[in-house]
């Protein structure tokens, strides 16, 4: 199972990176979502894999999975929703303001001085 | 601890507190403003005076406040003789400068700003000299660099002012960085960052192999600050500042900070050959070179600036000699130089103010026009030249006597000769200041008609000149005690202080005679020498400095643009390559232990899930251009991830993931409404190949890392066992994940809901901005009919509306259930919030956003705010019970006929979480929907398209309205 999960995280990461490197904002957002899955799974996996031992205390049961990564990942999932929402809004705002969803354009002239 | 010691932190804080006043008081007029600037300074000076008796008795006042004891950083203040000398100078001369600046600054200059900067600077300087902790000292040290930047660049409209300020900040700031390193090494050797401890560790410090690096780094800080060769070039450029600034920073304070630190560290750093060679040589070279340059400067302030550099060199050299007698002379000269140089700067300012020029070539003959200024300037300049019986003479004689007994390099007399040469130049430029400005014939071509200024302007230099004369005539009466206690602080020994005028026909006397006669002769030959000077090419420091900074800027720009040229992909690709490479280095450099965990056997169902996940991810990459398809596939991936959480014993995560999945996909669908439906195929095959290689490498790295972690146990015991053991006992809940969220790590969660709330508000604000700008106009022109797939047949289908209405109470009930059981079973505020948000969303989807929104009375901003507030109040409630923030308590409640249930205060916190999540999700979706209305989408009157309970006329109206 460990190899399955590790390879799943790897595939999600690879797909995420590939999509993030695209030229338009929408695939970048989808890529970020995939990377979010990968990161959350990775954090979760740092508690090691355990089957049928949820961290809910029961009488007569004395082995549980690691609850700490789960708590951290739970908030991470919710926060990543917030992040996705902000990024979507940014992409939408940029598209509507500029009429283009290209994210590869370098600014033409940012007015930076060359000298001291 | 002496009772006067409590004044020390107040003295250091007063200028900073006072810095708030000028900005406010400037409204009440310039005099009031100056008075309110002077008040904190006077108060601080008075408090300092109260400490004087104790210090003169030889006591060292200390005051300790713990700040960050674990870092060794404490707010410790100390006042000994050296601190008293400097604090007195900083506050005393500061007071005179405030008076002088009141009359110097013109009506156009923003005086409030000036006084604020001045007090900030004063506070930083006082902080340096009172600090007993070197880390605290470093903080004040950096503050002087920053506040002096503001002061030097005060005339923002002058390019010289801005350039001078930038140069001063660059040079002294870099020196400050070096000094931080040096001080940290020093503190490390001594085992403490408290000066009072460090000063007792002389043997340990000088024996340490790190002594030389620490010495060089600290001296780099001192030399840059005190403008020692080869860092002297910034000081003349800082003369673009208003004259009060020059008089303050460059006579008594900022440039003396380096001297102060050398004197402060003298007991532990001095006395070694390294110290002698570095410090004495630098001082000697600076003294001679700067004195020579000063002679050929036509700008009055430039002349004084280089003379300052030269005199600082003299003091540095004396400290560098390493003998107690020389250090005593150094202290005495610090006092003398501050008095005459501040007075001279002020007279230069007066001349500039009255004659509208500082160019010596355009001046001369001012003694008849400005007799008072002439008198003041002459006395001060004669003191600078070292003419008896003024105070400059006394310390110069003593300096020459010390140098005459020191062997430097080459012949035995070389150091004495060079010092005499420096003194000779000093005499020449001092005489020139008198002769070429005030003596000579009266001219008729001054840019303005010079005359003596009002009393307010000449009072300050006059007072200083009186001191020059008094110390000159009766040194033991007026400076003896101060020199004694401060020399005692520098040398850590009872010094022998005997200052007198006539030493007999000793070598120092003849050296003085040579200097005075030679200086006079040099001035007589000034015109031909000046022509020769102008004919010789010299390296120009500013050109070199500009070239270096330009090159550094260019290199920095090239590097930044290389990795981040504004294109997202460039940046992301660099990141995606660098991280695996660094990981590979770490892997290759370290070793791997053998696996310690047996892998779990592969089960059929999860293996199928794995295949689905992989296939949908692969399809997603292949078909990502078709954006709707991509979203569907993304949903499948999210579902598989949720199922994975279920399988691996994480029910809370599964619940959260699946509900977040729903709202995320809805959000993306809404957004896609306004975006192109297809991603065009733009990148070349080579580019896709390159990105593919980067992506595969990253994926492989993550796979390897994850697998390596998964087959090994924790290297150390994890803290999770604590949470499992205390979840019920301490937190009153059996769902450990929820107890961690609302109790153990409640503060984290508190921060996270705030972040979530802020994200929602950002979305709201962004939408608002977009709708106001070009985006709003574009939206208004975007007709929904351009959608190639066409509109759906029913916008608000009957079946869906009815179903969601039935579902609403059920969904809310589920939400309440999940919330209430959260502490003991999978669930809680986060998940309940998402479920309830989805329940609302269903209504919005069924009947349209505007229709639904018109029927609900809650503002989501308020929901978010209320949630954060409730969470915060729960935390504060623990304070009322005398416990730390967010400590929870629990008990049992019994309401018949419901069975007894447990109740924890953490539940109130969870209510806060719940409300914030609901508010944030709804606000984000509301913002997106408000865009839809801009496209001209109409608002339906009725909840659904076809309503059996409606008459035909209603139906017609409704159709007409849509």
Look at B565 and A24 and tell me if their CB atoms are within 8 Å.
Answer: no
Q: Is B669 exposed, middle or buried (0-12, 13-18, 19+ CB in 10 A)?
A: middle
Euclidean distance between CA atoms B738 and B719, whole angstroms: 16
CB nearest to A26's CB, from B637, B675, B682 = B675
Q: Is the pLDDT of residue A111 over 50?
A: no
* C-beta separation of B239 from B305 below 8 A: yes
Q: Give per-residue pLDDT as tens, B605-633.
A: 999 999 999 999 999 999 999 999 999 99
Could you tell me if residue A59 is inside a domain? no
Can you name the residues that pair with B68 across neighbouring β-strands?
B73
What is the per-residue pLDDT across B57-113, written as a single tens digit (0 to 9) for each? Answer: 888 888 888 888 887 778 889 998 899 999 999 999 999 999 989 888 888 888 888
Cα B502 to chain center, whole Å?
Answer: 53
> Residues B291-332: pLDDT tens digits?
998 888 888 888 999 999 999 999 999 999 888 888 899 999
- SS3 at position B372: helix
The CA distance from B770 to A91, in Å, is: 11
Query: Could you read off the pLDDT of B645-667 as tens digits, one per residue?
Result: 999 999 999 999 999 999 999 88
Q: Residue B389's pLDDT is what?
A: 82
Mean pLDDT for the stretch of residues B149-171: 89
Q: Do A1 and B703 touch (CB under 8 A)?
A: no
B686-703 average pLDDT score: 93
Instruction: Judge whether B180 and B138 are in contact, CB under 8 Å.
Output: yes
Run of H or E including B920: helix B906-934
Rg of chain A (C-alpha set)? 20
What was the pLDDT predicted at B951?
Answer: 59
Record: contact B675-A91, CB cut-off 8 A: yes
- Determine the pLDDT at residue B960: 40
Residue A18 confidence (pLDDT) = 94
Q: Which of B868-873's residues contact partners 24+ apart within 8 Å by CB, and which partners?
A: B868/B753, B868/B754, B868/B757, B868/B912, B868/B916, B869/B912, B870/B908, B870/B909, B870/B911, B870/B912, B870/B915, B871/B749, B871/B750, B871/B753, B871/B909, B871/B912, B871/B913, B871/B916, B872/B750, B872/B912, B873/B908
Q: Find residues 694-713 of chain B whose CB sits inside 8 Å of chain A.
A: 694-696, 698-700, 702-704, 706-707, 709-711, 713
The more confident residue out of B891 and B264 is: B264
Which residues of chain B lie closer than 8 angstroms to A81, CB-CB? 660, 663-664, 921
Q: Report the C-alpha gap between B150 and B539 in whole angstroms.
A: 28
Closest CA in chain A for residue B917: A78
Whether residue B706 contacts residue A5, with contact meaning beta carbons closer than 8 Å, is answered with yes
Whole-number pLDDT of residue B899: 65
**Alpha-carbon distances of B709 from A46, A48, B518, B589, B704, rounded to whole Å:** 7, 8, 81, 17, 9
Instruction: Name B80's Cβ contacts closer than 8 Å, sequence gap at least 6.
Output: B55, B60, B61, B485, B486, B488, B489
Q: Which residues of B102-121 are buried (b: 16+ CB within 10 A; e: fewer)?
A: bbbbeeeeebbbbbbbbbbb
B725 touches chain A (CB under 8 A): no
With an 8 Å Cβ cutoff, is A60 touching chain B? no
What pLDDT is attached to residue B622?
A: 92
In DSSP terms, B73 is beta-bridged to B68
Q: The tokens of B387 are what? A: 């003419």
Interface pTM, i.e. ipTM? 0.92
Give the pLDDT of residue B793: 62
Number of Cβ within 10 Å of residue B245's Cβ equals: 30
Domain count, chain A: 1
Residue A37 belongs to a domain: yes
Partner-chain contact B741 A103, CB within 8 Å: no
* B558 vs A contacts (CB less than 8 Å): none
DSSP B794: -
| Helix segments in B26-158, DSSP class H | 30-56, 81-104, 111-130, 134-152
Question: Do B649 and A51 lie within an 8 Å CB cutoff?
Answer: yes
pTM of the model: 0.71
CA distance, residue B748 to nearest chain A CA (Å): 9
Taking CB atoms and an 8 Å limit, are B624 and A22 in contact across chains?
yes
d(CA A10, CA B699): 4
**A36 and B CB contact within 8 Å:** no
The residue ranking higher by pLDDT, B125 or B593, is B125
CA geometry: angle B790, B794, B795, nearest 5 deg: 85
Query: Which of B547, B605, B691, B737 is the best substitution to test chain A (most A C-beta atoms within 10 A)?
Result: B737
- Per the structure, the complete domain to which residue A76 belongs is given by 2-51+67-98
3-state helix, strand, coil in chain A (%, to 5): 60, 5, 35
Cβ-contact B102, B34 below 8 angstroms = yes
Identify all chain B residues contacting A106, using CB atoms and an 8 Å cutoff: 565-567
Question: Would you state the pLDDT for residue B387?
Answer: 87
**Residue B468, CB half-sphere, CA atoms under 13 Å: how many?**
31
Chain B contacts of A73, Cβ < 8 Å?
Answer: 650, 653
Q: Does B573 touch chain A (CB under 8 A)?
A: yes
- Tell me the C-alpha distance between B925 and B735, whole Å: 31
CA-based angle B283:B286:B290, to the nearest 5? 150
Tokens 């705010």 locate to: B865
Establish if B624 touches chain A: CB-CB under 8 angstroms: yes
Instruction: Specify if A20 maps to a domain.
Output: yes
B623, B629 contact by CB (below 8 A): yes
Q: How far is CA B56 from CA B53, B267, B485, in A?
A: 5, 20, 6
Say what the pLDDT of residue B137 is. Answer: 92
Q: What per-residue confidence (pLDDT) applies to B714?
A: 86
Residue B618 has a pLDDT of: 95
- Is B603 part of the contact surface with chain A (CB cutoff 8 Å)? yes
Here the tokens at position B543 are 């050109």
Helix (H, G, I), strand (E, B) or coil at B877: helix
pLDDT at B957 over 70: no
pLDDT in tens, A44-53: 999 888 888 8
Max Cα distance, chain B (Å): 127
CB contact under 8 A, A74 and B830: yes
List the single residue in A with minimal CA-CA distance to B681: A23
Domain assignment present for residue A27? The answer is yes
Q: Given CB atoms, is B770 within the 8 Å cutoff of chain A?
A: yes
Q: Does A43 touch chain B (CB under 8 A)?
A: no
Closest-CA residue of chain A to B650:
A54
pLDDT at B784 exceeding the cut of 90: no
Tell me, yes or no, whether A103 lies in a domain: no
Tell whether the model's pLDDT for residue B834 goes beyond 70. yes
pLDDT for position B621: 93
Is the residue at A36 inside a domain? yes
CA distance B872 to B886: 8
């Amino acid at each position: 199972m460990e190899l399955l999960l590790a390879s799943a995280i790897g595939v999600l990461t690879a797909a995420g990176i590939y999509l993030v490197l695209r030229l338009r904002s929408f695939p970048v957002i989808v890529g970020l979502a995939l990377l979010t899955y990968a990161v959350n799974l990775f954090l979760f996996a740092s508690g090691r894999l355990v089957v049928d031992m949820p961290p809910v205390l029961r009488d007569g049961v004395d082995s549980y999975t690691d609850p700490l990564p789960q708590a951290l990942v739970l908030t991470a999932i919710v926060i990543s929703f917030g992040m996705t929402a902000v990024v979507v809004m940014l992409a939408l705002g940029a598209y509507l303001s500029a009429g283009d969803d290209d994210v590869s354009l370098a600014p033409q002239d940012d007015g930076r001085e060359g000298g001291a | 601890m002496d009772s006067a010691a409590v004044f020390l932190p107040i003295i250091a804080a007063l200028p900073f507190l006072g810095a708030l006043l000028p900005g406010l008081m400037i409204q009440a007029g310039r005099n009031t403003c100056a008075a309110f600037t002077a008040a904190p300074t006077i108060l601080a000076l008075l408090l300092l005076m109260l400490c004087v008796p104790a210090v003169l008795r030889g006591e060292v006042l200390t005051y300790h406040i713990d700040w960050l004891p674990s870092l060794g950083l404490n707010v410790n203040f100390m006042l000994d003789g050296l601190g008293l000398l400097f604090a007195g100078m900083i506050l005393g001369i500061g007071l005179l400068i405030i008076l002088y600046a009141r009359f110097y600054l013109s009506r156009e200059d923003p005086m409030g700003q000036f006084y604020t900067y001045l007090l900030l600077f004063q506070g930083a300087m006082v902080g340096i000299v009172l600090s007993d902790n070197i880390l605290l000292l470093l903080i004040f040290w950096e503050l002087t660099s920053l506040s002096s930047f503001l002061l030097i660049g005060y005339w923002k409209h002058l390019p010289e002012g801005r350039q001078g300020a930038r140069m001063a900040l660059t040079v002294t700031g870099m020196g400050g960085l070096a000094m931080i390193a040096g001080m940290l090494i020093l503190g490390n050797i001594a085992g403490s960052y408290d000066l009072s401890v460090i000063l007792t560790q002389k043997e340990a410090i000088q024996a340490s192999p790190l002594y030389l690096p620490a010495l060089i780094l600290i001296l780099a800080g001192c030399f840059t600050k005190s403008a020692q060769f080869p860092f002297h070039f910034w000081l003349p450029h800082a003369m673009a500042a208003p004259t009060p600034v020059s008089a303050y920073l460059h006579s008594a304070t900022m440039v003396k900070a380096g001297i102060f630190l050398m004197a402060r560290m003298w007991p532990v750093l001095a006395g070694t050959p390294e110290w002698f060679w570095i410090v004495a040589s630098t001082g000697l070279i600076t003294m001679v070179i700067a004195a020579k340059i000063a002679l050929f400067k036509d700008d009055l302030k430039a002349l004084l600036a280089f003379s300052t550099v030269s005199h600082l060199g003299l003091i540095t050299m004396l400290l560098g000699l390493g003998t107690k007698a020389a250090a005593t002379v150094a202290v005495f000269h610090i006092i003398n130089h501050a008095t005459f140089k501040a007075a001279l700067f002020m007279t230069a300012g007066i001349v500039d103010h009255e004659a509208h020029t500082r160019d010596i070539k355009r001046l001369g003959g001012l003694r008849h026009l400005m007799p008072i200024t002439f008198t003041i300037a002459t006395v001060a300049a004669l003191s600078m030249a070292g003419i008896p019986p003024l105070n400059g003479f006394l310390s110069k004689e003593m300096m020459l006597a010390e140098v005459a007994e020191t062997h430097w390099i080459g012949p035995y007399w070389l150091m004495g000769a060079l010092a005499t040469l420096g003194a000779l130049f000093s005499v020449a430029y001092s005489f020139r200041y008198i002769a070429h400005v005030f003596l000579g014939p009266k001219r008729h071509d001054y840019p303005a008609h010079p005359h003596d200024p009002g009393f307010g302007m000449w009072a300050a230099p006059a007072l200083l000149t009186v001191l020059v004369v008094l110390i000159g005539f009766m040194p033991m009466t007026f400076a003896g005690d101060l020199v004694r206690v401060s020399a005692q602080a520098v040398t850590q020994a009872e010094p022998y202080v005997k200052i007198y005028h006539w030493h007999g026909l000793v070598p120092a006397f003849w050296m003085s005679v040579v200097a005075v006669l030679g200086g006079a002769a040099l001035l007589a030959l000034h015109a031909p020498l000046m022509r020769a000077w102008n004919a010789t090419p010299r390296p120009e420091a500013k050109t070199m400095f500009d070239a270096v900074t330009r090159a550094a800027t260019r290199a920095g720009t090239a590097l930044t643009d290389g990795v981040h040229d504004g294109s997202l992909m460039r940046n992301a690709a660099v990141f995606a390559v660098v991280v695996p490479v660094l990981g590979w280095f770490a892997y290759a450099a370290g070793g791997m232990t053998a696996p310690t965990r047996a892998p779990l056997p592969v089960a059929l169902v999860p293996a199928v899930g794995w295949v689905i996940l992989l296939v949908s991810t692969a399809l997603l990459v292949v078909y990502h251009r078709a954006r709707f398809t991509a979203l569907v596939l993304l949903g499948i991936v999210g579902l598989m991830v949720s199922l994975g959480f279920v399988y691996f014993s994480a029910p809370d995560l599964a619940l959260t993931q699946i509900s977040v999945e729903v709202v995320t996909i809805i959000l993306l669908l809404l957004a896609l409404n306004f975006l192109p439906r297809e991603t065009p195929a733009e990148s070349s095959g080579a580019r896709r190949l390159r990105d593919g290689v980067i992506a595969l490498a990253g994926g492989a790295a993550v796979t390897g890392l994850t697998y390596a972690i998964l087959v090994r146990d924790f290297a150390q015991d994890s803290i999770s066992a604590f949470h499992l053991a205390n979840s019920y006992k301490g937190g009153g809940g059996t769902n450990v994940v929820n107890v961690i969220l609302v109790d153990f790590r409640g503060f984290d969660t508190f921060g996270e809901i705030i972040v979530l709330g802020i994200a929602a508000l950002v979305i709201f604000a962004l939408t608002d901005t977009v709708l106001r700008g070009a985006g709003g106009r574009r939206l208004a022109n975007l007709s929904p009919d351009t959608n190639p797939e066409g509109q759906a047949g029913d916008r608000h289908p009957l079946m869906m509306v009815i179903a969601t209405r039935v579902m609403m109470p059920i969904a809310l009930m589920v939400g309440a259930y999940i919330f209430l059981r959260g502490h003991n079973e999978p669930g809680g505020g986060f998940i309940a919030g998402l479920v309830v948000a989805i329940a609302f969303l269903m209504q919005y989807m069924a009947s349209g956003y505007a229709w639904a929104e018109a029927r609900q009375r809650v503002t989501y901003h308020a929901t978010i705010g209320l949630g954060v507030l409730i969470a915060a109040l729960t935390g504060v409630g623990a304070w009322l019970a005398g416990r730390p923030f967010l400590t929870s308590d629990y008990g049992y409640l019994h309401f018949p006929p419901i069975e007894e249930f447990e109740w924890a205060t953490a539940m109130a916190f969870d209510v806060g979480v719940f409300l914030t999540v609901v508010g944030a999700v709804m606000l984000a979706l509301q913002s997106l929907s408000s865009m839809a209305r801009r496209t001209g989408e109409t608002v339906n009157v009725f909840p659904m398209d076809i309503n059996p309970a409606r008459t035909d006329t209603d139906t017609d109206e409704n159709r007409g309205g849509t």
